[in-house]
Amino acid sequence: MSLAAGRGGVASARGFSVGIGEAGIRESGGPDLVLIESDRPASAAATFTTNLMRAAPVLLAEEALADTGGGARGIIVNAGCANAGTGAGGLDDARAVVAAAADHLGCEPYEVLPASTGLIGSRLPVRQIVDAIGGLRLRRSATASGRAARAIMTTDTRPKQHAASVRLGDGRTVTIGGMAKGAGMIHPQMATMLAFLTTDAPIGSASLRTLLGPIVDRTFNQVSIDGDTSTNDAVIVLANGAVGGPALDAADQRTFADMLEAACRALAVAIAADGEGARHLIEVTVHGAASDADARAVARTVAASSLVKTAVHGADPNWGRIAAAAGRSGARLDPERIRIHIGPVPVYDGNPLPFDEAHARRVLRGRTVPLVLDLLDGEGSGTAWGCDLSAEYVAINSEYTT
């Protein structure tokens, strides 16, 4: 696979455009509304939060995908209000927003998938949003993609987007673009954030669903910032086939799957790196597990550990916290065989090792902190991403509504 990644985002693939508006949802002002449009019917696949307090847009998007069998023309996203914990009224609000977006796109309401992010327990200002949708101008450009990625931010400090193209075996060039948001309330029980990906690849909804679930498990589901699972998690992929030609054959589906996974991984890592108050990205890699699932469980548990996060924040090479997290992960491991490295520094090999503490501290002070575990029990491998836990995180979240 020859993959070319470059500047761009959710409107990079053929046939997709975005509209960005300001509906006055945020108290701070600024753009807070994004409409993603496909100029033709698109296949759709999605994964959503498993939190039982699921937001109205999650319920409505699931319903729409069930009704269409996986088709869509657009996605309407707002920031500043989660529309979660709002009962029947929140569902009515989401339906009104979807109806306005569908009217703007000239399609049926069930062809528009809603998503929201922001404060739980607040109702959407529906009239303001409907008015703003009516004035949206749809554009396709790298600039429009970048503005869309900024418009969906909440406590994020920077936009998160990705675009790449790949040449298929028959010579066609397929493009994928995407954007994501998330910096707090991040702990995967699907994908604790919002992510939207668009592609001009010709692939049906059933095949797209088959690919997306395992990819989300290996990427977005391996991110943890603070251990809290959101009510609004959603990863949505639209594929409109605008590249033309026949549906992807088995070989080209594998090529496309690799590109989709690379896009999801790039967005997932960007979320972990932008954790609220974070100064360090933590990347935990596990080798030698009995299975890939075991490896991912160990990596995810270590990345999510508050004690590991605080040790990284203080540049404290306390490898015991890493070992303890691995031991409670539920994965099969033998404490007398496990090996632990802080970057290139070996610190444990079934027994404590003498190590260069100053070198380990330097690794922990880096922008990216690699932690590596080898369980010496099989061929399974996996990676997870997190960030350090700082006083700034406490300050941000102790004042979130005030």
Positions annotated as catalytic residues are 192
User: Dihedral sign, CA of 169, 173, 174, 177?
Assistant: positive
Return d(Cα 330, Cα 291) in angstroms, integer.
12
Give strand ranges (E) for 123-249. Answer: 160-167, 173-181, 194-199, 223-224, 234-239
Asked if 259 and 212 touch (Cβ cutoff 8 Å), the reply is no
Per the rule left: phi > 0, alpha: psi between -120 and 50, beta: everything else, 332 is beta
Distance of alpha carbon 106 from the chain centroid: 29
Residues in Cβ contact with 29 at an 8 Å cutoff, skipping those fewer than 6 apart = 22
Which residue bears the tokens 């996996």?
Answer: 382
User: What residues pair up with 284 in beta bridges, in sequence order?
Assistant: 371, 384
What does each C-alpha distance from 25 to 21, 28, 129, 146, 257 come to in angstroms? 11, 9, 8, 20, 36
